[in-house]
C-alpha cells in the first residue's frame, strides 16, 4: 500500500508507489526528486537549513489570496510599513515569492538595488532601519526582464531564498505570495511548517468574483493546517478626498468579506478603503503612511495591524 505524506498535494500517488515522483501530480512538488530516488522516507535536506536560517525569526506570516488583482502586494507593503513604524523596536522583513511578478521592489521604493552576497548568505535590501526586503526582482538584469520558469525552478528559487537569505533577528517575516493555491504555496507551507509557521493573512475585495477564489484559499489553509490570522478586505469603499462621499466601486453583492467570514468562521480584521493617492505612492515607491498619516486608509490599517499583533502574540505566548 502506498504511503501518502501528511498534507501532500491532491492526487499524490504515495511514497511507495512506482509512480512516486514521476506522476503528473508530482510536477512542482518540492519533494519530487526525493520520492523519485526512492529515499522518500528521508526528510528533505533543505528543512534543517531553513530551520537554522529562520531560527531567529519570531513570526512567519503568509499573505495569501486566491484572486489576482486584489492588492495583495500593496497590503503586504502597507502591513510591513505599519509594523515597522508603529512598533519601532520590532524588526520586519518582507519576502517576495511572486517569482514571475515581483512588484515589491517598486512598491517599497528600492527598485534597482542589488543583493549583496557574503559568507553569511544573501543580505536583504533595507527599506528603513527596521524594514528589509528580498525579491527575485533584485536578481534580474533589468526590471522588465520576464521570468519564464516552470514550477520546479520556481520552487527551487523559494527554497534558495529560505536557505540563503541572512535576515538576522526578525520579529515579523511577511511572505508575499502569488495568486492561487499551487506550487509556490505548497512549497512555502511545507518548508515553513517545520520552522513554526505563525499563520496566514488572506486578502480579498468585496465583490463575489473575488470572494469565490478567496474561499478556495481558505480551504487551502484548512487542508494544509495553516492557521488563518484573519481576512483583510481591500478596496472596500472609495472616499472622495474633496466631498468625503463614500461610494462602492466594487459592490458587495453577497455581503462582502464580513459575511464570508461569518459563514466560514474566520476572523475579519478590517477593511481598507480605495485611495488613488495610495496607488500613486505604490507606483512611485513612497511610504503612504508617511505621506498621509491621517487618511482613512491609514487609520483602518493601524487598527488591522494592532489586531494582527495581538493575535500572533496571543498564539505564541
Give pLDDT, residue 28: 63
Q: Grid coordinates representing 305?
A: 495591524
Tell me what percent of the residues of the chain surpass a pLDDT of 70: 89
Tell me how far apart the alpha carbons of residues 132 and 92 are, in angstroms, rounded to a whole number. 6
Give pLDDT, residue 114: 87
Give pLDDT, residue 282: 94
At 194-209, the pLDDT tens digits run 899 999 999 999 999 9
The model's confidence at residue 211, banded by pLDDT at 50, 70 and 90, is very high
Phi, psi of 274 (to 5 degrees): -80, 130
| Mean pLDDT across 282-296 | 93
Highest mean pLDDT among 62-71, 145-154, 178-187, 260-269: 260-269
Q: Is the pLDDT of residue 2 over 50?
A: no
The alpha-carbon radius of gyration of the chain (Å, integer) is 20
Q: Are 76 and 174 in contact (CB under 8 A)?
A: yes
At 68-114, the pLDDT tens digits run 899 999 999 999 999 999 999 999 999 999 999 899 999 999 998 98
At 19-55, the pLDDT tens digits run 777 777 677 666 676 666 655 455 678 899 999 999 9
Q: How many CA atoms lie within 13 A of 278 on its CB side?
A: 23
Give pLDDT, residue 5: 52
Higher pLDDT, 277 or 151: 277
Give the domain ranges of the chain. Answer: 47-316
Give pLDDT, residue 37: 62
Give pLDDT, residue 317: 65
Tell me how far apart the alpha carbons of residues 138 and 116 are, in angstroms, rounded to a whole number. 10
Give pLDDT, residue 9: 53
Higher pLDDT, 42 or 153: 153
Give pLDDT, residue 65: 92
At 166-197, the pLDDT tens digits run 999 999 999 999 988 888 898 899 899 989 99
Q: Is the pLDDT of residue 1 over 50?
A: no
Q: Is the pLDDT of residue 7 over 60?
A: no
Mean pLDDT computed over every residue of the chain: 88
| Mean pLDDT across 246-260 | 90
At 109-127, the pLDDT tens digits run 999 898 888 888 999 999 9
Q: Are 193 and 30 in contact (CB under 8 A)?
A: no
Burial of 152 (0-12, 13-18, 19+ CB in 10 A): middle
Q: CATH for 47-316, among 3.40.50.620, 3.50.50.60, 3.40.50.11750, 3.40.50.300? A: 3.40.50.300
Of 152, 147, 188, residue with least CA distance to 28? 152
**Read out DSSP for 240-302?**
-TTT--EE-SS--TT-HHHHHHHHHT--EEEEEEE-HHHHHHHHHT--HHHH-TTSHHHHHHH
Amino acid at each position: 500500500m502506498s504511503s501518502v505524506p501528511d498534507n501532500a498535494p491532491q492526487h499524490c500517488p504515495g511514497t511507495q508507489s512506482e509512480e512516486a515522483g514521476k506522476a503528473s501530480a508530482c510536477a512542482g512538488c518540492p519533494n519530487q526528486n526525493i520520492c523519485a530516488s526512492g529515499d522518500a522516507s528521508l526528510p528533505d535536506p533543505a528543512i534543517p537549513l531553513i530551520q537554522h536560517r529562520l531560527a531567529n525569526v519570531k513570526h512567519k506570516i503568509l499573505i495569501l489570496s486566491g484572486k489576482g488583482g486584489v492588492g495583495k502586494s500593496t497590503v503586504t507593503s502597507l502591513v510591513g510599513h505599519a509594523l515597522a513604524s508603529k512598533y519601532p523596536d520590532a524588526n520586519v522583513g518582507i519576502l517576495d515569492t511572486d517569482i514571475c511578478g515581483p512588484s515589491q521592489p517598486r512598491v517599497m521604493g528600492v527598485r534597482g538595488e542589488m543583493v549583496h552576497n557574503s559568507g553569511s548568505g544573501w543580505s536583504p535590501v533595507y527599506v528603513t532601519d527596521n524594514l528589509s526586503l528580498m525579491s527575485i526582482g533584485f536578481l534580474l538584469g533589468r526590471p522588465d526582464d520576464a521570468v519564464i520558469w516552470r514550477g520546479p525552478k520556481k520552487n527551487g528559487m523559494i527554497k534558495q531564498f529560505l536557505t540563503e537569505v541572512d535576515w538576522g533577528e526578525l520579529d515579523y517575516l511577511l511572505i508575499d505570495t502569488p495568486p492561487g493555491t499551487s506550487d509556490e504555496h505548497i512549497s512555502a507551507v511545507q518548508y515553513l511548517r517545520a520552522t513554526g509557521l505563525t499563520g496566514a493573512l488572506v486578502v480579498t475585495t468585496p465583490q463575489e468574483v473575488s470572494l469565490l477564489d478567496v474561499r478556495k484559499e481558505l480551504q487551502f489553509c484548512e487542508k494544509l493546517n495553516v492557521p488563518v490570522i484573519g481576512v483583510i478586505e481591500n478596496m472596500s469603499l472609495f472616499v472622495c478626498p474633496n466631498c468625503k462621499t463614500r461610494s462602492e466601486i466594487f459592490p458587495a453583492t453577497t455581503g462582502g468579506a464580513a459575511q464570508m467570514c461569518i459563514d466560514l468562521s474566520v476572523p475579519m480584521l478590517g477593511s481598507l478603503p480605495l485611495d488613488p493617492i495610495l496607488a500613486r505612492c505604490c507606483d512611485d515607491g513612497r511610504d503612504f503612511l508617511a505621506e498621509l498619516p491621517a487618511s482613512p486608509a491609514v487609520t483602518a490599517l493601524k487598527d488591522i495591524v494592532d489586531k494582527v499583533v495581538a493575535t500572533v502574540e496571543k498564539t505564541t505566548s
